Structure 1
């Protein structure tokens, strides 16, 4: 039941430009002394901001890596162009020295008078002129290419440095949000533990629901997670075998209803801490345990994907996670394997 690093189940798309500093800037400071509803809402808000900040940071990091690779590619091309240019200049030097040895300083007319075969001399002279012209053209072309590559390298390097600077700023923003989120999470957890100790839930904390556009009838209970303890596994903290599937997530992670249903019970105290039980079509029940807050009341109807609470580590828990069960009745002891149950409904975990 210990927490592992989270695995994202949502895709990341690299944008053409980074706009996260504008989108995420100006975050208000956390009020650590906030009461229950304010703490729950603060954690939910900061959780989403932290997720977005991490996504933008990764996008920026990938974009910077691509731009750096492009700058390095142009640098390699420029080095090759300079090597070829040096070879051409050496060729020019060899031609000049050869012409000097063959009377390059003597006017062509004088060479023809002194030559035993003036026609052959002219033919050779024309060939030399043509070679010189071709070489001059090649050198000029090489110089133009080198200049173009130098400009391309300058722009690519400048773009990479700009992306790196922006990403350093994003890293600072990400760290700041994560710090405030951690403070808010433990404030929320402390309030949850007080409720469990008193055996009384604080009541539903209405959270701003996300825009959920999925048309699927069933969804996982959390969006991003790492699977930890599985169904029917052995453990020192369980009287018999593990009765559900654990999802390792941070405190305050929004927990959602896996399908349309009705809230059968909301309770606090005992091994499961703060928990919610829902009833779904077909007579199945789902349980969400070790929560830090709830966002629904008993008897309320919920939709698939609707936020019904926030994860925590209340009750018999060694670290933040969601304990999830699928049952044939509302009561402990009637559980079925959640992995197989989800698979039958087209949901892979």
Structure 2
């Protein structure tokens, strides 16, 4: 069974760790009726959920460090208890010896019957040493017991503080994730309505990240898991899969993989809401199943610039980004996106 006892020296370390976590994420209150309000709210909630996750993970790592130190403390406390037991044993032996010898009578008799100053001094020294041994044993025992009790109380309190803080962070994260899910599906509902009407809403002008990419090519999303790959088979496609899918949540910012010009923004068909960008060298990249677009047709874009937000519009079984690289703007001229990006220094 895990003990709750911890070392008192961990208290200041714990408090320092918690100080880093004091700043809590605030709830997003963007006006979803304003142009781009809902889209921006989703992005903000992503950032806040990410921050809360980082804070929670920092608390969890601090708890792991605390646990390792606690295990070392348990060994220290065990030694302290052994020392206390030994001190109690010493007191017991002294008491038994005094009982067998009639208390302090033999030493007193030696002093009364002493024939010389030397014998008198030896008797006095024996009495003094016996009293000193008892006093030292009692003092050490009491100090050790007091130190052990203080260690257990302070360490238990520190552990409770960390546990409570982690619980608070987890609750904050759950709240943000609930708001994010509601905003995501509201955004998706608006996207589905656009697709049904066959007309895209205007570009949503979100605040672009200030990141400046040193390389000319980037991945279409920052954080992802790869799912269906180029050329794979499946019931959802007439023949073979024509692109690379990235499993991401609704509202995830989608980036142009390189500099180019937007040649198509569409809201109908199997791809749902899609954006097609033409790059130097005659290649085209497609970003499909979006929930919203952040660019207009004819607009020039830079590497890493947001062109939309991921969704699940069109012929899609769940939230993801469908990414293609083509020789023409039309379907049917696709090349393997992973190989194409790898030749440009981007490995997925």
Assess same fold via TM > 0.5.
Answer: yes
Q: Which position in structure 1 is the counterpart of 2:26?
A: 25
* Contact persistence 1:259–1:303 (CA under 8 A): yes
| Partner of residue 36, structure 2 | 37
Gap change, CA 1:152 and 1:347, over 3 Å in 2: farther
**1:202 Cα shift?**
0.9
Residue 154 of structure 1 aligns with which residue?
153
Question: C-alpha distance in 2, partners of 1:303/1:271?
Answer: 27
Segments of structure 2 that go 5 or more residues without pairing to the other structure are: 1-15
C-alpha offsets along residues 2-38 of structure 1, whole Å, 9 cap, x if unaligned? xxxxxxxxxxxxx93355564413542775xx36622
Deviation at 1:135, TM superposition (A): 8.5
TM-score, normalised relative to structure 1 = 0.80
For residues 282 and 104 of structure 1, what CA distance do their matches in structure 2 show? 105
The aligned counterpart of 2:95 is: 96
User: Contact 1:232/1:241 (CA < 8 Å) preserved in 2?
Assistant: yes
* Greater shift in the superposed pair: 298-307 or 233-242: 298-307
- 1:131-184: CA deviation from partner (whole Å, max 9, x where unpaired): 986796577556545544543443333232222222222222222222221221
SS of corresponding position for 1:264: strand
Q: 2:30, 2:38 within 8 Å by CA — same for their partners in 1?
A: no
Q: Which blocks of at least 5 consecutive residues in structure 1 are unaligned?
A: 1-14
> Which residue number in structure 1 is paired with residue 191 of structure 2?
192
Q: How has the CA–CA distance of structure 1 residues 156 and 328 changed in structure 2, closer, same or farther, with 3 Å as cutoff?
A: farther
| Maintained 8 Å contact 1:68/1:157 | no
Matches of 1:222 and 1:276 in 2, distance apart? 14
Which structure exhibits the higher relative contact order, with contacts defined as CA atoms closer than 8 Å and separated by 6 or more residues?
A: 1
The alignment covers a number of residue pairs equal to 331
What is the CA distance between 1:322 and its match in structure 2?
Answer: 0.5
Question: How big is each residue's C-alpha offset from its partner over 1:192-237, in whole Å with a ceiling of 9 and x where there is no partner?
Answer: 1111122211121000112325433332211222211111111101
Does the 8 Å contact 1:37/1:205 carry over to 2? yes
Match of 1:4 in 2: none
Q: How well do the aligned residues superpose, as a CA RMSD in angstroms? A: 3.4
Q: For residues 209-288 of structure 1, what are the structure 2 equivalents within 5 Å?
A: 209-288=208-287
**TM-aligned CA deviation for residue 43 of structure 1:** 1.6
Alignment-derived partner of residue 308 in structure 2:
309
- Pair 1:135–1:102, CA change in 2 (3 A): closer
> 1:16 and 2:9 equivalent?
no
Q: Deviations over 1:58-101 (max 9, x none)?
A: 22233244335545643553243123211221133123313432
Worse-superposed segment, 268-277 or 15-24: 15-24
